[in-house]
A and B are shown apart, each in its own frame.
Chain A
């Protein structure tokens, strides 16, 4: 049972345009969500997070939106840059240190 789903395995976007990566979850007990970025041959690095008490969090070019009623979160990257090309994982937790990760979306930003 996949509690955190990233239904798009891959996404291609032109440089300078917006990238939107989506994540759906099924467990209403999740109260904290994170996005990680992973380059080949490296471990994932933390990108941005959001608590369930918020519906938006911004950090520079990265914004995460949370829609609790739809159990959906999205990561917006504006403007997209070639260096953003990586695999993006969303993760969720219900207040413990145990995360459930999605399967990842491979983003390719075309120059």
Chain B
């Protein structure tokens, strides 16, 4: 079974703090993704990575950066958290060699106060 884990289920941070969200997958997948989910907006892609040290911007990259130093780990960084970044953050992974199916982690509910 593919497992995608995220470092925290719930996180509360203050405005201006630097925030790290960590994601680890155990299936040797090449591709990893960060989404945010907001009511009425569905899942929106922030960044994705198709290989170690490789990354591409998604639809809403502003205010975020990412790091992929190892194949199994993909980190999302909020350089200076703002209240409009309060959201559910979902990490996913997929294999280049199989179908387009993405496997999701359980999500991190981030609240910025």
Contact = CB atoms under 8 A, between A and B. Distances in A.
A32 interface: yes
B99 A49 contact: yes
Interface residues of A, number: 23
Contacts of A32: 100
A22 B40 CA distance: 16
Contact of A89 (B31, B33, B42, B103): B42
B101 A34 contact: yes
Interface in A10-58: 32, 34, 36, 41-46, 49
Contacts of B35: 101
A46 B98 CA distance: 14
Contact of B48 (A6, A46, A91, A98): A98
A43 B45 contact: no
A46 B94 CA distance: 12
Contacts, number: 56
Contact of A97 (B4, B44, B48, B104): B48
A101 B99 contact: no
B42 A104 contact: yes
Interface of A: 4, 6, 9, 32, 34, 36, 41-46, 49, 89, 91, 93, 97-99, 101-104
24 contacts: A32-B100, A34-B101, A41-B9, A41-B106, A43-B4, A43-B107, A44-B90, A44-B104, A45-B104, A46-B101, A46-B103, A49-B99, A49-B101, A89-B43, A93-B100, A97-B50, A98-B45, A98-B48, A98-B58, A99-B102, A101-B35, A101-B42, A103-B42, A104-B42
